[in-house]
Chains A and B, each alone.
Chain A
Amino acid sequence: MRSAASRTLRALPTLLRIGVAEVVAYRAEFLVWVLTMTQPLIMLGLWTSVAREAPFARYSSADFVAYFLATLIVRQLTGNWVAWQMSEDVRSGAMAMRLLRPVHPFFTYAASHLAALPLRSIIALPVAVVLLASAGAHALTSDPIQLALLAPSIALAWLITFAFMFAIGALAFFLTQTMAIANLYFALFSLFSGYLLPLDLLPPWIAGLARWLPFRFMLSAPVELLTRSLDGERIALLLGGQLAWTAILLAVALGLWRAGVKRFEAVGG
């Protein structure tokens, strides 16, 4: 077990380097992918016009700008397409080749997604600058604890999203079409993660439901850390929820993977 972990760690720099080379090779696809993640800009336009005259609920126009630009940044850094990749690999037979390599595919897929982050940051960082300049620092938190916890919170959001998508990808071992499930996932994600609108603007019963679902911890948690002034209890709840969902979804993803590979071994591919 230890040797598998150290082998994976040693392989990681090369896997990341090749991941970057791949992202660069798929320039056009990458750009389109980045553009599909810019939905928060549309929501931003919509909601700032709603709040132009007077604040909507407790959100001023500047609050909406800060919220949706923060959403855009977190989404750029945490979104992934591993479910599509896995489903394609099962269908094309490339999965067999992955299974014959002595590093768990969870890590090889993860490395190729992490490798895309630097290029995504090129898109996300200028947005961060615009955010600060236009919405003003007052719409963001200045709490040093919240700012310090932002990076770990984004990392956890990345891991939760990746594990969830990996679990959907593992369903490709059982179902011929997993894209319907990926679409359902995205519909739920859009509503319950704060992607379309801040969770506190949702009807109370939906907001209540969102508190118990994983989607909030994929997006809204880091966005709240960045744009709200939170008390210690709320911060603990957000980070604790993220940790819990990370553990749960990793277990589900790897469990589904193991069961899926067993099935693959039974029926072939």
Chain B
Amino acid sequence: MIRARDLTKHFKVHKRPPGLGAALRSLVHRKYEVVKAVDGVSFTIERGERVGFLGPNGAGKTTTLKVLSGLLHPTSGDVAVEDHVPYRRQASFLGKITLVMGQKSQLIWDLPPSETYAMNRAVFDVPTPQFDQTLAELTELLELGPLLDKPTRQLSLGERMKCELAAALLHRPTTLFLDEPTIGLDVAMQVAIRDFVRSYNQRHEATVLLTSHYMDDVVALCPRIIVIDQGKLIHDGDLRQLIKTMDPDKRVSFTLTQAIADDELAKLGAQLVRDGQRVTLRVAERELPAVIGRLLGALKVADLAIEDPPLEDILRVMFGKHRADPPAAGAAS
């Protein structure tokens, strides 16, 4: 279980204008500014939940994950993860959690991943039979077989990420903090990692807190999302419910096989995109059966898809609203 109550994390940042004069002045007199990276955030995540942690760049996501994994000491507020105070970094706590940062590696660069795994087995004190079993399971799920004995520096980005995940999970943590685990990966690899995270979560009843810039990751993996912006929590709840509240209309996309004028299409619903014969309409949910009926009856279409509005659009609206109407205390000073 993860619990954060009124969590804040402030950083003192050295400010210096450009130029040689300013550089010299900063030698004797430094100006600091306090940045409120996380500003009074509270949430509780139960064991086994998969939660997406969203927000624009600089919203405080990584800072929060670092506080939860024990790398950062909170400025104020209470944090408990698996009934431990994270920043004490007790061995019993570190054995239950893992932090995967898509842009940082724990693999030993010049040695094959199997050596990093052996090291993690030793430092996490994993009994050999359990280690062998976990490694066999991870090797199968992530298809690591041919990668285990290749030097890390010779692996592709996607291969390395799979090996990183395995390194992070060999001690069978029950809380996973995943910070952009699919960054820079191609679509097939993203899907593979997603499937793997879901299956690990189900097998081990592990709690997953995930940040990602790929909304597909979040939609596919996380029934619940927590959204922060400028260090403040602006939404915590069911993903589908959020979409329904923010934009209840569906997106109906199809490819026409005959020429149709725009005003003909307008009778069906608000037209969002038209790229030649490819059309996306916005249709209220209750009108959906009628519109689909007319589409299939009167028009000739090659394919048809009914989807929720993209999460990206929903978030853009949310952040826009939050910034236009900021909370009483500003996030940055």
Contacts and interface: CB of A to CB of B under 8 A. Distances in A.
A266 B123 CA distance: 26
B108 to A, nearest CB: 7
A103 interface: yes
How many chain B residues sit at the interface, stated as a range, is 20 to 34
Interface of A: 3-4, 7, 10-11, 13-15, 17-18, 21-22, 25-26, 92-94, 96-97, 99-103, 108, 262, 264-269
A14 B104 contact: no
A50 to B, nearest CB: 44
Contacts of B118: 14, 17-18
Interface SS, B side: mixed
B260 interface: no
A100 B173 CA distance: 12
B104 A266 contact: no
A267 B99 contact: no
Given A21-B111, A100-B69, A265-B71, A11 B123 contact: yes
Given A14-B119, A266-B73, A7 B104 contact: no
A102 B91 contact: yes
A234 B269 CA distance: 97
A99 B71 contact: yes
Given A10-B122, A100-B99, A102-B124, A21 B115 contact: yes
27 contacts: A3-B91, A10-B122, A14-B121, A14-B122, A18-B118, A22-B108, A25-B110, A25-B151, A96-B71, A99-B89, A100-B69, A100-B70, A100-B89, A100-B98, A101-B120, A101-B124, A102-B94, A102-B123, A103-B123, A262-B73, A265-B71, A265-B72, A265-B73, A265-B87, A266-B73, A267-B12, A268-B63
A245 to B, nearest CB: 29
B248 interface: no
B66 A18 contact: no
Contacts of A262: 73
Interface string B54-67: 00000000010010
Contacts of B72: 265-266, 268
- 5 cross-chain pairs, A with B, having the tightest CB-CB distances, nearest first: A14-B122, A102-B91, A265-B73, A25-B110, A11-B122
Nearest to A103: B123
Contact of A100 (B94, B115, B122): B94
Nearest to B110: A25
Nearest to A8: B123
Nearest to B67: A265
A253 B215 CA distance: 45
Contacts of B98: 100
Contacts of B202: none
A14 B176 CA distance: 26
